[in-house]
Amino acid sequence: MPLQRIRPAVDVLAREIGIEHALASERLYTDGAEVLFDYATKHGEREVGDLVVVRTQQRQFSQVVKQYLKRIHYGGDGWADRVRLPVYSAAQVVVDPKVAFGLPLVVDGGARVEDLVDRFQAGDSVAEIAADFRVPSDQVEDVIRVATRAAA
């Protein structure tokens, strides 16, 4: 998403709604092109979502857009506290600022991505790395594939 759309949206949310850290808010969404804000209201036991493009104030179809944010985990305070990185297909890799200084970790085994890649680049086999870090081989291969693709 273009930075030219993010900054104005964050400014609007800070100025008009009083949200100081809008980018970490559980009420902020994107469809990949626009910044959306959830003006949800409660009606009895049911919450009615009202996603609106911050820049144009145009309403969006909430259920479609909300599916894109399943990789973000929110704490009890409603703010983002952990993100699942979507570039991996077999491995679940998360970034949590409270764990490993915010470096990406493979959920199965808890190994840092950079440690797996370093061992592979040092000449260790996928089987050796998987055994040493207790990470399934297919996930080690996925991490290495993504790292080597990014470096290429």
Is 12 part of a structural domain of the chain?
A: yes
pLDDT value at residue 105: 94
Residues 41, 97, single domain; the answer is no
pLDDT value at residue 42: 43
Residues 41, 8, single domain; the answer is yes
Query: What is the DSSP pairing of strand 72-74 with strand 28-30?
Result: unpaired
Is 83 part of a structural domain of the chain?
A: no
In which domain, by residue range, is 57 found?
A: 3-69
Is 124 part of a structural domain of the chain?
A: yes
Is 133 part of a structural domain of the chain?
A: yes
Residues 7, 65, single domain; the answer is yes
Q: Which two tokens stand for residue 36?
A: 């959306």
Does this model's pTM top 0.75? My answer is no
pLDDT value at residue 41: 52
How many whole angstroms separate alpha carbon 108 and alpha carbon 104?
Answer: 12
Low-confidence ranges of the chain (pLDDT < 70): 1-3, 31-32, 41-49, 61-72, 150-152
Is 46 part of a structural domain of the chain?
A: yes
pLDDT value at residue 44: 45
For residue 107, the tally of other CB atoms under 10 A from its CB is: 13
Residues 10, 62, single domain; the answer is yes
Residues 147, 112, single domain; the answer is yes
N residues, the chain: 152
Query: Residue 63 in contact with residue 40, Cβ under 8 Å?
Result: no
pLDDT value at residue 48: 47
Look at the chain and report how many structural domains it folds into.
2
